[in-house]
Amino acid sequence: MPIARYLIPLVALAFPVGVFAQDAEVKAQKAAAVENMKRAGVDKPAAVETTSLLVYSSLTEAKTKPIADTAQKAFDAARKALKFDDKDKPWAGKLTVYVLADRKEYASFVRLVESRKPEADETWAVQIRGAEPYAAIGAKTEVGLSGEAAAGVAVALLDQKAGASSATFTLPSWLHTGFGRAIAVRQNPRALDDHRAKVKALFAKNKLGTFTAAQVWGTEKLKDADTYATSLTEYLVFGADEGKFAKFLGGYKPGENQQEPTTANALEAANWTPETLDTAWKTWVVKGK
């Protein structure tokens, strides 16, 4: 009896349809990544694939791999912090991470792929809509690329959890910065210790009564804004009562009237006032949590 008659059914049983679909999606994402790197002026990028990420870099493969490893750890940490279900896939295929060590490469990527001019101080660009979700990283120094990659990956998951992939709204920049950097520093014990020491020093220098949590999301630029945003968001995610951050994040999602809610709406959803959040955050920092 010819064996060939049974070959295709056996293969189909060994590899479910979902596996072939995943392979096709990832293959398309890899092709798109190569083209986007060319648009940034990188013709032969290093490519490292992890469990959840496709990392394309203008660095050597040897330098790219540790960045990819850190980004994957951040992906896992952010996924856990945001309480994704174990079986839940944030998106089809994988998230592409573009690591652009030269600032000119990053500027070219943003200009040609996103059709905009990058801000002078931006270090990542995240886009999760469509079939090729990505986080493009362009730190000002090569040393900073690993941390920025971790932060960018975390922000991509934050946006996905908030529903920004399908709705016409964006989360506030302070929350992007705070969540991304909070996840990033927690991947490095020394970086976490340095961050918390800096926050305590700022608290001591400025005295607790001279600034409030509301200033973190206010319109007036707060000195050391990124440090405060990181600390406040770290409290929201890891220090507040169970379920509080999920309610807070859900409060940003537009309702049926499609009006974009504010941080005031997010606070209300989590049953916080600016004053109660301010007190809880400062207490958490002072106690050294």
The two structure tokens encoding residue 108:
């070219």
Residue pair 272/198 in contact by the 8 Å Cβ criterion: no
pLDDT category of residue 97 using cuts at 50, 70 and 90: very high
- The arithmetic mean of pLDDT across residues 123-131, rounded, is 93
Residue ranges per domain, the chain? 15-162, 192-286
**pLDDT at residue number 7:** 44
Residues 15-162: name the CATH superfamily: Collagenase ColT, N-terminal domain (3.40.30.160)
Q: What percent of the chain has pLDDT over 70?
A: 91
Residue 174 to residue 225: CA distance in whole angstroms:
8
**pLDDT at residue number 220:** 81
Three-class SS state of 269: helix
Residue 82 to residue 210: CA distance in whole angstroms:
32
pLDDT category of residue 121 using cuts at 50, 70 and 90: confident
| Greatest Cα pair distance in the chain | 85
pTM of the model: 0.90
Residue 225 to residue 285: CA distance in whole angstroms:
16
Phi, psi values for residue 95, rounded to 5°: -85, 130
Residue 70 to residue 141: CA distance in whole angstroms:
17
At residue 8, does pLDDT exceed 50?
no
Residue 63 to residue 157: CA distance in whole angstroms:
24
The four Cα atoms 164, 165, 169, 171 give a dihedral, to 10 degrees, of 30
The four Cα atoms 200, 204, 208, 213 give a dihedral, to 10 degrees, of -40
The two structure tokens encoding residue 150:
């971790």
At residue 74, does pLDDT exceed 70?
yes
Q: Average pLDDT, whole number, for the chain?
A: 90
